[in-house]
């Protein structure tokens, strides 16, 4: 007998119930901790909470359950990771990590049959920097050649392998691998469309692999062409009356796995700019059919359906805002803050307030928020000039280096300040987020900030000692320019701001100005006393007395993107020197 997961919308705190049939008659509203209004959790969180309730120790199978197949583990992990990054609910990360750690012991490589863990290993390495995850991923990378031999590879295994191969090649700087990846997609295309349940896995592999392709790699265009053909074929295979797709032959009765896989692929393809906008309408129509079914009977206890539903839900939830700044470039500085660290594979990587840094010090979750609005993320690792900045709409400088952080810092010079100011005057949006005086360069940054009537003072404020968090808590009423609802921001050890001229405060507390704004020509400068939106205090892997930076960060980004600016878009496949 098939059982179903509870999707009532409760924010679940106890995971004692298992295996029962829960039918939704009414969607139960929650009291929002942010605005005090009754709100129903989004589908992604309802499904994620139900997964943790059904399998509190992770899906491994038991005496009464069939053993988990690799694809079931893989897609469930991917779905929980997607839900975590869309919601910043730290429990989802810890759940996926516990499940992965059940398969990977401290001193052992990944088991031979667990290709399913590939991308989870990469994520865990990027988040924790623990070499054990790199070692397991590296072992798996070495086995790919034999796993992907010709016709022996099923489409489920192909989906598990190719995005892992592409992400590994990107993270560990092996760009020559993309030729091999492209050839595998080309040689597999016809076979993927020869049976119904293969097309969805193949299409997912395409959209998940493309993210990691270098912009100038010739294979990128090849994959985009294949994706377009596959999307057209997928539409032809659906049930026109419902907009859904037939079940795969392994699915349980009534399962929506096949439809969720294709919804995810189409919607993600549109959001990432790989597919035309019209496919979003097809995905949304299908999603309405899926949720209608789920509202009546819940998600079955098949982990494949739960994982596929999570992936589809997170993409649909991002879709409503994905065109706000479609293709506009948000540029992070990698010159004034150019700290590097040696990875487990031996290469030097930029880290500390960078889009690709998933550890505590990174801006990966902030980048996800920008990208969910349609923005293109890039980095500038040269001294800025108007010419280098011309394709960017937004430029963020966070915590410029000092010698204790980087023995060879690139200090802001007057010529740099002049170039940046000229770009702002033409309509650019500049965001300045220095650190406290002991951890970042304020003196040289003020060469730039002073041009706009903003001065960062070398005064330590919001000083937090140990677990005495209260000095770092900054109340927001929700009645100001940026935030529409009440929040409590957390900023640990900050500088302060003084203002002159037309610069104005947008948020203040008992220590003084927290966020300031200055108009300059056609552009805007926004100054914050701290780089407060780094992963340590947004992804909620750590438990703090107040966990509101992610929600407040979403509002901050939304406000920032709505500021008048000269909209610019990058030339596809073309990037100026120094812009990554």
Domain spans, the chain: 329-458+495-561
**C-alpha span between 211 and 516 (Å, rounded):** 35
Burial bucket for residue 575 (CB in 10 Å: 0-12, 13-18, 19+): middle
Task: Give the Å distances, CA to CA, from 374 to 205, 211, 318, 526.
Answer: 21, 14, 9, 21
H/E/C letters for each residue in 439-504? CCCCCCCHHHHHHHCEEEEEEEECCCECCECHHHEEEECCCCCCCCCCEEEECCCEEEEEECCCCE
Cα atoms in the 13 Å half-sphere on the side-chain side of 98: 14
* Helix axis angle, 257-271 to 196-210, nearest 10°: 30
More confident site: 111 or 247: 247
Q: Is pLDDT above 50 for 573?
A: no
Confidence (pLDDT) at 9: 59
pLDDT band per the 50, 70, 90 thresholds, residue 80: very high
Burial bucket for residue 426 (CB in 10 Å: 0-12, 13-18, 19+): middle
This prediction's pTM: 0.90
* Helix axis angle, 155-171 to 196-210, nearest 10°: 0
pLDDT digits (tens, 9 = 90+) for 441-467: 999 999 999 999 999 999 999 999 998
**Using CA of residue 312, residue 316, residue 318, residue 324, what is the dihedral sign?**
positive
Given the candidates 3.40.800.10, 3.40.50.1370, 3.40.50.1220, 3.40.50.880, the CATH classification of the domain at 329-458+495-561 is 3.40.50.880
Q: Is pLDDT above 50 for 15?
A: no
Backbone angles phi, psi at 379, to 5 degrees: -135, 150
Confidence (pLDDT) at 297: 66
Q: Which of 243, 242, 265, 250 is nearest to 302 (CA)?
A: 250
Structural contact between residues 514 and 63, judged by C-beta atoms closer than 8 angstroms: no
Confidence (pLDDT) at 146: 76
pLDDT digits (tens, 9 = 90+) for 398-446: 999 999 999 999 999 999 999 999 999 999 999 999 999 999 999 999 9
Report the phi/psi class of residue 103: left, alpha or beta, with left for phi > 0 and alpha for psi in -120 to 50.
alpha
pLDDT band per the 50, 70, 90 thresholds, residue 375: very high
pLDDT digits (tens, 9 = 90+) for 284-323: 999 999 998 877 666 667 888 899 999 999 999 999 899 9
pLDDT band per the 50, 70, 90 thresholds, residue 60: low
């Amino acid at each position: 007998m098939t059982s179903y997961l509870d999707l009532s919308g409760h924010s679940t705190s106890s995971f004692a119930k298992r295996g029962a049939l829960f039918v939704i008659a009414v969607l139960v509203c929650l009291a929002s901790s942010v605005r005090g209004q009754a709100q129903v959790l989004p589908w992604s969180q309802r499904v994620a909470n139900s997964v943790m309730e059904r399998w509190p120790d992770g899906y491994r199978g038991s005496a009464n359950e069939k053993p988990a197949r690799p694809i079931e583990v893989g897609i469930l992990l991917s779905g929980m990771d997607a839900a975590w990054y869309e919601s910043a609910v730290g429990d989802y990360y810890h759940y996926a990590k516990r499940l992965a750690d059940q398969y990977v012991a401290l001193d052992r490589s990944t088991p031979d049959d667990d290709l399913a863990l590939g991308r989870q290993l990469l994520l865990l390495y990027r988040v924790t920097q623990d070499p054990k995850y790199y070692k397991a991923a590296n072992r798996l990378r070495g086995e790919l050649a034999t796993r992907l031999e010709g016709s022996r590879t099923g489409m489920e295994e192909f989906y598990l392998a190719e995005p892992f191969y592409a992400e590994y090649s990107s993270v560990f700087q092996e760009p020559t691998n993309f030729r091999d990846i492209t050839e595998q997609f080309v040689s597999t295309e016809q076979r993927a469309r020869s049976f119904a349940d293969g097309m969805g896995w193949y299409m997912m592999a395409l959209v998940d692999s493309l993210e990691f392709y270098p912009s100038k790699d010739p294979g990128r265009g090849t994959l985009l062409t294949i994706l377009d053909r596959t999307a057209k074929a997928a539409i032809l295979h659906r049930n026109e009356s419902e907009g859904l797709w037939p079940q795969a032959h392994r699915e349980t009765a009534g399962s929506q796995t096949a439809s969720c896989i294709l919804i995810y692929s189409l919607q993600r393809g549109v959001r990432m700019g790989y597919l035309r906008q019209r496919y979003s309408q097809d995905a949304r129509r299908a999603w309405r059919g899926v949720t209608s079914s789920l509202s009546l009977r819940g998600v079955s206890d098949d982990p494949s359906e739960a994982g596929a539903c999570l992936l589809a839900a997170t993409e649909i939830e991002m879709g409503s805002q994905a065109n706000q700044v479609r293709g506009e470039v948000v540029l992070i500085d990698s010159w004034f803050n150019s700290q590097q660290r040696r990875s487990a594979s031996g290469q030097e990587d930029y880290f500390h307030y960078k889009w690709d840094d998933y550890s505590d010090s990174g801006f990966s979750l902030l980048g996800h928020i920008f990208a969910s609005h349609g923005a293109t993320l890039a980095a500038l690792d040269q001294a800025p000039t108007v010419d280098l900045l011309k394709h960017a709409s937004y430029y963020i400088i966070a915590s410029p280096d000092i010698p204790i952080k980087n023995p060879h810092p690139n200090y802001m010079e007057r010529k740099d300040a002049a170039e940046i100011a000229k770009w702002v005057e033409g309509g650019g949006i500049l965001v300045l987020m220095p650190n406290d005086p002991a951890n970042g360069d304020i003196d040289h940054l003020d060469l730039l900030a002073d041009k706009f009537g903003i001065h960062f003072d070398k005064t330590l404020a919001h000083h937090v000692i140990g677990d005495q968090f209260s000095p770092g808590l900054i109340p927001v009423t929700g009645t100001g320019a940026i935030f529409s609802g009440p929040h409590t921001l957390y900023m640990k050890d900050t500088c302060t701001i003084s203002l002159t001229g037309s610069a104005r405060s947008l948020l203040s507390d008992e220590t003084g100005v927290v966020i300031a704004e200055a108009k300059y020509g056609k552009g805007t400068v926004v100054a914050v006393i701290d780089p407060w939106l780094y992963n340590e205090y947004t992804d909620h892997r750590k438990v703090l007395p107040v966990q509101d930076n992610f929600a407040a960060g979403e509002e901050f980004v939304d406000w920032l993107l709505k500021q008048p600016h000269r909209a610019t878009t990058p030339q596809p496949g073309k990037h100026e020197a120094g812009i990554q």
